[in-house]
A and B are shown apart, each in its own frame.
Chain A
């Protein structure tokens, strides 16, 4: 029976944590749609949604309900299985990345006489960042499959664009991250954050690396100015042209979840994660420190989400060749140079 001796409390803890994190990211993504419209409106001297509820706060619910009530259309010529699989995959990969992110330090409480220390992270795997890279690059399958299964030229073209874009920018992103990796010496997100809690934030050591990472994150999320896969005016919304109802909703939603998750990742890797600057968490009670940490991380993430939106409503879309030029001829060499400089400095410091 020892084989089946599962730590049930651990299992329940993790399940609760997963439920909380998924719900939280869904709600945040939901309100990111509202935030996007409000930010767009404010940047353009408009009012934005203000009819549903006070300040239009119920707008995302109304939007979601509308999507649910729409007719579900699967085109005759499409590949039925893949057509349904596309949005599912997009949503799944968007949600999966949140597993390795340390949302806060551990919380501590006593339940049924047993002391529990619960780290606010679903899985502290030692290749955390690699996991994220892997899952994020799987995200392009959502676009690819959706575009392929729709069986029309525009969608296919959009899927092709999306795939090549994500692959090109993945490289620069990985390279810019290698420089960071050489500094931290660890792939575990938790270790990276803890180093920043005790030392300085990585942005001080890696400003160029962060800039490259940020640009690549825009491209990975298919956000403007890199929103070529869904270019409304060229490709009729690209890969989700044939989609309707909640399948479309999944695609749109996955974009916002991706945006949220990549904001969190940037905050974690370069801006100290759940660390609050000039505050010594060790002096505070454990649970309060953890709570402050979570709030700090979310605030950082929201600032990044705002930057995402701000950039979207400022910059026009890249042309496709410009996009590829930027990726291959500028960002990758720049990331390589950054990597070499970092390596050289590390070697020089070691003597």
Chain B
């Protein structure tokens, strides 16, 4: 029969030699291979104690940013929700009252801002859409949870700590990927 491809390779099946039939040499060879693995480095990352380093471009959990005076940058324009292909973001806007100038940067702010982490695909389009540099993706990821409800992250989960009152936490949460504040 004509072979269908040119890759057909004729195999030669020789009867085994005596040394091969005893099997012991190959058994010892195999055992030497497994034994050599004792001295190999274990690649395991022991997760809760040890974490895998992420790449610089890793896109993780969203962070709602503040400016250098600790005011929320978000103006609840809704562009991020519009840009979101997974429709994970919802928000409610509110008007800034007199005396709240130290809390919110603009006259309008997000009273409610929720991201459903089960919907979110961490594409980073919200970060790109935001005209105010108010949202960016950090280097962490959403930890496991027992309930679906636990994956709907509200403002209190997303908002970065105040740089004025909690500078250490702010620095920790900021990470490498925060956009420069201006």
A→B interface (CB under 8 Å): 42-47, 50, 310-311, 313-315
Contact = CB atoms under 8 A, between A and B. Distances in A.
Interface of B (DSSP majority class) = helix
Given A314-B30, A315-B27, A315-B30, A43 B46 contact: no
Q: Which of B27, B34, B35, B38 counts the most A-chain CB atoms under 10 A from its CB?
A: B34
A44 B37 contact: yes
A43 B38 contact: yes
B31 A310 contact: yes
Interface in B18-51: 27, 30-31, 33-35, 37-38, 40-44, 46
A43 B34 CA distance: 6
Interface in B145-160: none
Contacts of A313: 34
B10 to A, nearest CB: 27
A45 B40 contact: yes
A46 B42 CA distance: 6
Interface of B: 27, 30-31, 33-35, 37-38, 40-44, 46
Q: Which of B33, B35, B42 counts the most A-chain CB atoms under 10 A from its CB?
A: B42
A189 B117 CA distance: 69
A311 B28 CA distance: 10
A311 B46 contact: no
Nearest to A322: B23
Contacts of A46: 42, 44
Contacts of B31: 310-311, 314
Interface of A (DSSP majority class) = loop
B81 to A, nearest CB: 42
Given A42-B38, A45-B43, 19 more contacts: A42-B37, A43-B34, A43-B35, A43-B37, A43-B38, A45-B37, A45-B40, A45-B41, A45-B42, A46-B42, A47-B46, A50-B46, A310-B34, A310-B35, A311-B31, A314-B27, A314-B31, A315-B27, A315-B30
A314 B34 CA distance: 6
A212 B37 CA distance: 27
The 10 A-B pairs at the shortest CB distance, nearest first, are namely A314-B34, A47-B44, A43-B34, A314-B31, A314-B30, A43-B37, A45-B40, A42-B38, A45-B42, A45-B37
Contacts of B40: 45
A284 to B, nearest CB: 34
Nearest to B24: A211
8 contacts: A45-B41, A45-B42, A310-B31, A310-B34, A311-B31, A313-B34, A314-B27, A314-B34
A44 B38 CA distance: 8
A314 B42 CA distance: 18
Contacts of B30: 314-315
B74 to A, nearest CB: 42
Nearest to B38: A42
Contacts of A47: 42, 44, 46
